[in-house]
Amino acid sequence: MTWLQPRAQGCYLDCTIGLGGTAERILEASAPDGVLIGIDRDPQAIAHAQTRLQAYESRISLFCENFQWVKSVMSLANREHADGILFDLGVSSAQLDQPERGLSFQQDGPLDMRMNPTHGQSAEDLVNMLPETQLANIIHALGEERYSRRIARAIVRVRRQSPLRTTMDLSRVIRQSVPPSYRSGRLHPATRTFQAVRMAVNDELGSLQTGLDEVIDVLAPGARLCVISFHSLEDRLVKQAFRRLAHDAPDEWAILTKKPVSPSVEERRVNPRARSAKLRVLERKPGWGDAQAGRGHA
């Protein structure tokens, strides 16, 4: 909230509304008449947020969409600009904790992992159909998993006998394919592979790149874009997008976070899932549009 600075009469865009917690804070801070446009690609998240935010019904519009279509969403909401935009990337706790979503290697469930279970290919499709090299590349690039080749080889060997159908099927293969020392390490041996498969299933980096490109045009002068990421590749993408803008048009853009903001020790203690979060903030400079108009008249 400190970075986003919601205020009365403002229009705020929450591109990842999830359970609606952050949206609720924005609505409180922008009372009595700030409005919020919320997006999430997960239909369950939208339903949940709708119920949670009932008290603010007249001030919210929710859309079940991939945020890469943010401009279309804005025109559906009859808005051209927003006074603050938030991306809180990744998956929500609700998604992680529901075994039937297939996102957790700690609970057995179908190998799905789609944030929108009605769209696209599931993790089961991907894991059983991709060629070994492609599988290894995904696990390596998106999971930064050093045993990616071994894991991909083992998956292909097992699926020849019988397809992998559940999260436990996948988790078991991973466990059996890595060295014993890795099995007993601090991180569960399936962590990185599950993350990689999830990111590939949902094309998370592709959506983020398009979403960032689109959302830039939506920022009003003086508005801030806040992006919270949980993965080094996402953070790099955000950092590079911000740097490019600030470099190419320094009169228009300011990066407000020279280094990404990380959760405090206390926050990490009470909410361990936030431990790898990184927040970066970009501002379209106040009065930028006026300066342009002035130049145009001169």
- Give the three-state DSSP class for 35: strand
277 binds ligand SAM (CB under 6 A): no
Please provide the distance, in angstroms rounded to a whole number, between the alpha carbons at the two ends of the chain: 38
Contact 83, 54 (CB under 8 A): no
Among 21, 131, 185, 286, binds ligand SAM (CB under 6 A): 21
At residue 276, what are phi and psi to the nearest 5 degrees? Answer: -100, 10
What minimum distance in Å lies between the beta carbon of 185 and ligand SAM? Answer: 26
Give the contact letters, 181-210, x = binds to ligand SAM (CB under 6 A), - = no.
Answer: --------------------------x---
Q: Which of 39, 127, 281, 282 binds ligand SAM (CB under 6 A)?
A: 39
On whether the CB atoms of residues 267 and 274 are closer than 8 A, the answer is yes
Nearer to ligand SAM, 164 or 212 (CB): 212
229 binds ligand SAM (CB under 6 A): no
Strands in 2-76 per DSSP E: 11-14, 35-40, 60-64
Q: How many CA atoms lie within 13 A of 218 on its CB side?
A: 29
In the complex, least distance from residue 95 CB atom to ligand SAM, rounded to whole angstroms: 6
Nearest-approach distance from CB 248 to ligand SAM, in angstroms: 25
Q: Please tell me whether residue 238 binds ligand SAM under the rule CB under 6 A.
A: no
Rounded-to-integer distance, Cα 74 and Cα 218, Å: 8
As beta bridge partners, residue 63 has 39
Q: Looking at 10, 30, 40, 83, which residue binds ligand SAM (CB under 6 A)?
A: 40
96 binds ligand SAM (CB under 6 A): no
Binding to ligand SAM (CB under 6 A): which residues in 52-81?
66-67
Interatomic CA distance for residues 235 and 213, integer angstroms: 15
Structure tokens at 181: 């020392």
Using CB under 6 A as the binding criterion, the count of chain residues that bind ligand SAM stands at 19
Q: Does 22 bind ligand SAM (CB under 6 A)?
A: yes
128 binds ligand SAM (CB under 6 A): no
Task: Tell me: does residue 41 bind ligand SAM (CB under 6 A).
Answer: yes
Is residue 282 within 8 A of residue 271, CB to CB? The reply is no
Choosing from 4, 115, 154, 170, the residue that interacts with ligand SAM (CB under 6 A) is 115
Pick from 103, 45, 41: which is nearest to 69 by CA? 41
- In the complex, the residues that contact ligand SAM under the rule CB under 6 A are 16, 18-22, 39-42, 45, 66-67, 88, 90-92, 115, 207
